[in-house]
Amino acid sequence: MSTQPSFADNPSNESRDPAYFGYYAMLQHQQNMLQDTVRTSTYRNAILLNTECFEDKLVMDVGAGSGILSYFAVQAGAKKVYAVEASDMALKMKKLVKAASLPNAKNDFLKDRVEVIQAKIEDPSVKAPKVDTIISEPIGVLLVHERMIESFIYARDTFLKPGGHLFPNKGTMYLAPFTDALLFTETMGKARFWEQTTFHGVDLSPLYPDAKAEMFGMPVVGHFDPKSLLATPTSDAEGYEMDFSTITMKELRDFVVPISWKAQYTGLMHGVAGWFDLLFSGNTESEASQPVEMSTGPSAEKTHWQQVRFMFREPLAVNAGQTIRGWMHCVVNDMRSYTVDIEVIAGQYGELSDPSQPFEPLLEQQTKRQGHARTSEPEEQEEEEEEDDLQFSRRRGRWELHEQSYNYSYTGSANDMLTKPEHLCMYEPENVDDAYGGITYTV
């Protein structure tokens, strides 16, 4: 990592807190998450299948929201749950918990079992004892958006007893190359509005480059056809794992995900797709532990997190069997999110840039080389020409994870079974085994 001071060394979310907590104080947004049956049922199963982590235990719910996880913990036998919620949703939670003490209350199982604390977990005013188990749903788009995992980690370091349990305890991020000519065309269409030279007598074209940069700099959130992936995700399909039991704040605020794929089809790579899995291991030292997993991948049941795609301004041509190398560098920003830089190279030639160095668009690099070529020696010019050739197999971009656009064109249907790779402009090698047999086509 760079030794230069960065935002990750002194991050702050406070400027975004009023809007952020105002959003989660609304019942309609809590309802959206509660009605995500995959999310809600996964948490309920993880808690009720691992009651030994909850029965007669002290539990903390970080960012409790509607309080549903706190209520599940009580159902699992928790002695006391400290539900910490910074937004005014805490008032709604208090109302529900208070109603549990009324005569003939249906939620009487909650009586004297849940203590609601309205504060950020980092607030020194939070008065709670050390607990046996911490539960939380601190997850955003691509696992890390909204930066609530930092609060989860703070709670772990401050309130969890030695040997205590985290629910969830691991998150795994997956990346894969995708092709989507329609999405690319739609995005270009939005930018081309600004190419007009006679819009009511006004020439808008000077703003076209800015419009294109803006449109392609917005991560696209939504479900997509899993058949549009040009390769299996990440390196050896293992993904990039975050162990919430051990990860540090520093590691969470600035990290690099290595990229290594082998293209299974010939086609145009329009960008990089991402999603995540969650793991609830329970008590790993007990034979009674029943791990529960949840996936938000394109082949899994849909969730409100969906998937995210980072689209290149220019597609990258790849051949079946070709290696695609690269990295994704994520650094926290002050918008409760991350700045994401991605670089990939198709083929075995060329060195990847150092992700810890200041980001520089390829176009600016090329302009500098062209200026230097006019004054450089013949040997240096030859090296620069080779680097210019490499630009055709290299793509790099920057995206702000919070500046999301949305695409809901893919709904999934029975007709998906009839979709073949060529329908998506993905072409199998003449010998299908070539894509998996180690043959590498060079650029």
| Domain shared by 211 and 292, yes or no | yes
Is residue 443's pLDDT more than 90?
Answer: no
In this prediction, residue 375 has a pLDDT band, given cuts at 50, 70 and 90, of low
DSSP conformational letter for 348:
S
Residue 155 lies in a domain: no
| Domain shared by 338 and 227, yes or no | yes
In this prediction, residue 442 has a pLDDT band, given cuts at 50, 70 and 90, of very low
In this prediction, residue 432 has a pLDDT band, given cuts at 50, 70 and 90, of low
Residue 433 lies in a domain: no
Instruction: Tell me the residue range of the domain where 249 lies.
Output: 170-368+392-409
Question: Which residue in 51, 50, 104, 110 sits closest to 77, CA to CA?
Answer: 51
Residue 63 lies in a domain: yes
Check residue 359 and give its pLDDT: 80
Is residue 374's pLDDT more than 60?
Answer: no
CB neighbour class for 28 (10 Å; exposed up to 12, middle 13-18, buried from 19): exposed
Report percent pLDDT > 90 for the chain. Answer: 78
In this prediction, residue 436 has a pLDDT band, given cuts at 50, 70 and 90, of very low
In this prediction, residue 383 has a pLDDT band, given cuts at 50, 70 and 90, of low
- Measured at the CA of 95, the angle between CA 93 and CA 97, to 5 degrees, comes to 70
Check residue 4 and give its pLDDT: 46
Check residue 416 and give its pLDDT: 73
| Domain shared by 129 and 185, yes or no | no
Residue 418 lies in a domain: no
3-state secondary structure at position 20: helix
Residue 82 lies in a domain: yes
| Domain shared by 184 and 124, yes or no | no
| Domain shared by 233 and 348, yes or no | yes
Q: Provide the CATH number for the domain around residue 404.
A: 2.70.160.11
Check residue 239 and give its pLDDT: 84
- Please provide the distance, in angstroms rounded to a whole number, between the alpha carbons at the two ends of the chain: 30
Reported pTM: 0.89
| Domain shared by 100 and 230, yes or no | no
292, 135 Cβ separation under 8 angstroms: no
Check residue 372 and give its pLDDT: 52
User: Residue range 337-361: average pLDDT?
Assistant: 91
Residue 264 lies in a domain: yes
Other Cβ atoms less than 10 A from the Cβ of 21: the count is 16
Domains in the chain: how many in total? 2
| Domain shared by 116 and 224, yes or no | no
Residue 317 lies in a domain: yes
Q: Provide the CATH number for the domain around residue 43.
A: 3.40.50.150
Check residue 201 and give its pLDDT: 97
pLDDT (tens digit, 9 = 90+) per residue, 226-241? 999 999 886 445 689 9
| Domain shared by 106 and 230, yes or no | no
| Domain shared by 110 and 202, yes or no | no
Question: Which residue in 131, 159, 114, 111 sits closest to 58, CA to CA?
Answer: 131
User: Residue range 174-193: average pLDDT?
Assistant: 97
Residue 329 lies in a domain: yes
Point out the domain boundary residue: 135, 161, 195.
135
Select, from the ranges 152-156, 353-357, 435-439, the one with the highest average predicted confidence (pLDDT): 152-156
> What's phi and psi for 176, nearest 5 deg?
-155, 150
Residue 323 to residue 442: CA distance in whole angstroms:
9
| Domain shared by 225 and 116, yes or no | no
> What's phi and psi for 31, nearest 5 deg?
-65, -40
| Domain shared by 72 and 211, yes or no | no
| Domain shared by 235 and 129, yes or no | no
Query: Which residue has tokens 């991605």?
Result: 342
